[in-house]
Amino acid sequence: MPPSQPSRAPVYPKGYPSPPAANQRPPTRGCLIWRVRSACIGQTPLIIGAVSLAAPESKGPLLRERLRTARLYFVCDARPHGEDPEALLLAALGGGVDIVQLREKELSRAEVERAASTYRRVCDTYSALFIVNDDPELARACDADGVHVGKHAEVAAARELLGPDAIVGLSTHGPEELDAANPLPVDYVAVGPIWETPTKPGRPAIGLEPISYAAAHSAHPFFGIGGVDPGNAAQVTAAGAERLCVVRAIHEAADPRAAAEALRQGVAPGG
């Protein structure tokens, strides 16, 4: 998508119904969405099964193609500002976000699963990737596209549980960890925190030099993360990053869609 046109409209895959009105949400069971179609056999509906609203081919190669063209990644909690996440997700994705990660450290499993069903549905609407933080089992249960783990030692177990089609991401914090990530079966790495951030208390800032190192040496697509906002994103891209990952820049923005648009304009178009 060209930088001059960062925002986008929802995408409804061919052969799938448009999303219901706000007051007509489909019933859910856990994190899976149940589609019900009326059959021409009397008036008895047929339950087709528990599926994502993503197109059937949205696995493996298609997920990695979406990752390849992704430029803006948003990490969000299950109840942003104590509210349902849908409005914030719609604003972020409408502003140009390509990947959304559900990262929740405090709420119960049931509350996280309820939020995950919203994440899945909204991401499907925009053909965006949906990633779960740190919990491969939750990612599988909620039909997420993948998981993001924080330690190199966690990669193998995540890949084994989720299989070859899933997206697996990894946090790195400098050249040594980047080098160690190169041979691992991950699909992308995050590099940071570039600046100190309250979302990672106690983790020192690494600055921009590791971004330049990643641009020259990373075997995987990488996202610059940590204190990135519309005011400093140009520094990150100047250091070599083609992809950005943010939390507060959208989460805390007075106008989340405008913040997403500003960030998306600052990175290279997908392609």
Check residue 98 and give left, alpha or beta (phi > 0: left; psi -120 to 50: alpha).
Answer: alpha
Give the length of the chain. 271
Tell me the pTM. Answer: 0.80
Per-residue model confidence as pLDDT tens digits over 173-190: 999 999 999 999 999 999
Residue 127 a catalytic site member: no
| Long-range Cβ pairs for the range 265-268 (8 Å, 24+) | 265/3, 265/4, 265/6, 265/96, 266/3, 266/230, 266/233, 266/234, 266/237, 267/3, 267/71, 267/72, 267/233, 267/237, 267/241, 267/242, 267/243, 268/3, 268/71, 268/237, 268/242
Q: What is the average per-residue pLDDT within 143-160?
A: 98
For residue 59, what pLDDT is reported?
84
pLDDT digits (tens, 9 = 90+) for 8-59: 656 544 433 444 444 444 433 344 433 333 333 344 333 333 445 555 554 8
Residue 134: is its pLDDT beyond 70? Answer: yes
Assign domain 61-265 to its CATH superfamily. Answer: Aldolase class I (3.20.20.70)
Cα 62 to Cα 120, 205, 245, distances in angstroms: 16, 34, 21
Annotated catalytic residue, options 66, 103, 120, 257: 103
When pLDDT is averaged across residues 234-250 and rounded to a whole number, the result is 98
Catalytic: 105?
no
List 8, 64, 200, 203, catalytic entry: 200
The reply to whether 218 belongs to the active site is no
